[in-house]
């Protein structure tokens, strides 16, 4: 009995030590989920160019609002100017084996689906998280009506549905998918909408009899039973106000990540053209950033500032 008790105590000590090491790794590792949260908290109070902005400007509003911008780890945020704190490798926090295993172990609590308009993005998200896309069949009848069947049990699960509203067909596919999931007793439905169609129709023109289509789409999403909406690069941030308070809307701004992507691509292209001795050196990029119209000047300026910082230019 004494030997059995001693062996059991040793096993318990080993398990406690392993658990402690895992906890330390998750908290302290620069690419952990905790670091990601710290990075976001630090990032919310800093500007992209590391300088103080004047109050009341559009650029200052974008840099300091509540929208989410992808950043790198907390060690690179707000430290050295030469360190790129914006990167395309924004999903680093799911690369930890412990976190990925935790996500897989809880796969019975949530499900990820994608409409045909965004199946590639849905597959990428599932690949990063280490989970498979949910089985959903979306097709059309001979008369053009959308046919949709959810082939998995979603009762009591938190469901994430990726789908754009870039066309009438895509919009109806997303709406009917939300309806099917709600009728299948999903606990919570989050619609991830990379492209929010009809967002430009966010107001009535004086003297014209026309709908406010951006709000009409929001109303339809609510009526189908969506619980939360995640959008990207809305035409106007006021679109979030078309949803009722019970339906939170997260507005993601991909501009800094896009700037980092182009910087990395141009740098790689220059490195391929240079000799081995000059590999890795950053050269000045002769680029011009143009806003598509006057309403996008602030975002174009934001894009330019991030690109300049990453390029090491003044």
Number of H helices, E strands in the chain: 9, 7
pLDDT at 223 over 80: yes
Are 269 and 303 in the same domain? yes
pLDDT above 90: percentage of residues in the chain: 29
Give the tens place of pLDDT for each residue, 160-206. Answer: 999 999 899 999 999 999 999 999 999 999 999 999 988 888 888 88
pLDDT above 70: percentage of residues in the chain: 63
Q: pLDDT value at position 311?
A: 75
H or E element at residue 136: strand 136-140
List beta partners, residue 228.
190
Are 151 and 265 in the same domain? no
Q: Which residue has the higher pLDDT, 254 or 273?
A: 254
| Cα–Cα distance measured from residue 189 to residue 148, given in angstroms and rounded to the nearest whole number | 17
Q: Is residue 67 part of a domain?
A: no
Residue that finishes a domain, picked among 222, 252, 282: 252
Residue 135, both tokens: 């089985």
Are 125 and 231 in the same domain? yes
| CA-closest candidate to residue 308, choices 286, 291, 293 | 286
Are 197 and 284 in the same domain? no
Q: Is residue 42 part of a domain?
A: no
Residue 110, both tokens: 């949530």
Are 206 and 274 in the same domain? no
Which SS3 state, helix, strand or coil, does residue 126 take? helix
Are 181 and 287 in the same domain? no
Are 230 and 287 in the same domain? no
Q: pLDDT value at position 273?
A: 67
Query: How many structural domains are present in the chain?
Result: 2
Q: Is residue 209 part of a domain?
A: yes
The mean pLDDT value of the chain amounts to 73
> Which residue is it, tokens 């894009």?
303
pLDDT band at 137 (very low <50, low <70, confident <90, very high): very high
Give the tens place of pLDDT for each residue, 143-159. Answer: 989 999 999 999 999 99
Give, rounded to a whole angstrom, the gap between the first and last alpha carbons of the chain: 74
Q: Is residue 79 part of a domain?
A: no
- For residue 274, the tally of other CB atoms under 10 A from its CB is 13
DSSP sequence for 282-303: PPPP------SSGGGHHHHHHH
119 dihedral zone (left: phi>0; alpha: psi -120 to 50; beta): alpha
Q: Is residue 197 part of a domain?
A: yes
Which SS3 state, helix, strand or coil, does residue 13 take? helix
Give the tens place of pLDDT for each residue, 268-299. Answer: 777 776 654 455 554 555 778 888 888 778 88
Instruction: Determine the average pLDDT of the residues in 235-257.
Output: 86
User: Exposed e or buried b for every residue in 230-242, given b needs 16+ CB within 10 A?
Assistant: bbbbbeeeebbeb
Q: Is residue 179 part of a domain?
A: yes
Instruction: Determine the average pLDDT of the residues in 128-150.
Output: 90
Give the tens place of pLDDT for each residue, 38-51. Answer: 444 443 333 333 33
Residue 10, both tokens: 């040793």
| CA-closest candidate to residue 196, choices 171, 223, 227 | 171
Are 167 and 289 in the same domain? no
| CA-closest candidate to residue 60, choices 301, 289, 287, 311 | 301
How far from the centroid of its chain's Cα atoms is residue 132's Cα?
Answer: 18
Tell me the residue range of the domain where 132 lies: 106-252
Q: Is residue 281 part of a domain?
A: yes
CATH number at residue 184: 3.40.50.2020
């Amino acid at each position: 009995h004494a030997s059995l008790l001693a062996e059991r105590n040793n096993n318990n000590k080993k398990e406690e030590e392993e658990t402690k090491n895992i906890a330390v790794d998750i908290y302290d590792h620069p690419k952990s989920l905790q670091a990601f949260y710290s990075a976001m908290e630090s990032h919310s109070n800093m500007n992209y160019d590391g300088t103080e902005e004047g109050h009341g400007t559009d650029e200052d509003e974008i840099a300091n609002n509540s929208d989410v911008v992808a950043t790198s780890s907390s060690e690179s945020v707000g430290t050295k100017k030469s360190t790129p704190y914006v990167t395309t490798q924004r999903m680093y926090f799911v690369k930890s084996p412990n976190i990925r295993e935790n996500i897989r172990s809880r796969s019975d609590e949530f499900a990820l689906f994608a409409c045909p308009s965004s199946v590639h993005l849905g597959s990428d998200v599932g690949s990063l998280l280490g989970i498979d896309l949910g089985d959903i069949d979306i097709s059309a009848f001979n008369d053009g009506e959308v046919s949709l069947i959810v082939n998995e049990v979603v009762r009591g699960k938190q469901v994430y549905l990726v789908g754009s509203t870039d066309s009438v067909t895509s919009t109806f596919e997303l709406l009917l998918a939300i309806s099917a999931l709600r009728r299948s007793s999903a606990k919570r439905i989050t619609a991830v909408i990379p492209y929010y169609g009809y967002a430009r129709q966010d107001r009535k023109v004086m003297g014209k009899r026309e709908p406010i289509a951006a709000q009409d789409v929001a109303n339809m999403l609510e009526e189908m039973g969506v619980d939360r909406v995640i959008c990207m690069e809305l035409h106007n941030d006021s679109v979030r106000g078309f949803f009722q308070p019970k339906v939170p809307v997260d507005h993601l701004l991909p501009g800094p990540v896009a700037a980092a992507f182009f910087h990395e691509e141009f740098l790689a292209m220059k490195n391929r053209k240079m000799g081995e001795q000059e590999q890795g050196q950053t050269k000045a990029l002769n680029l011009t950033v143009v806003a598509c119209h006057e309403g996008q000047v602030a975002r174009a300026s934001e894009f330019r500032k991030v690109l300049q910082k990453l390029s090491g230019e003044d």
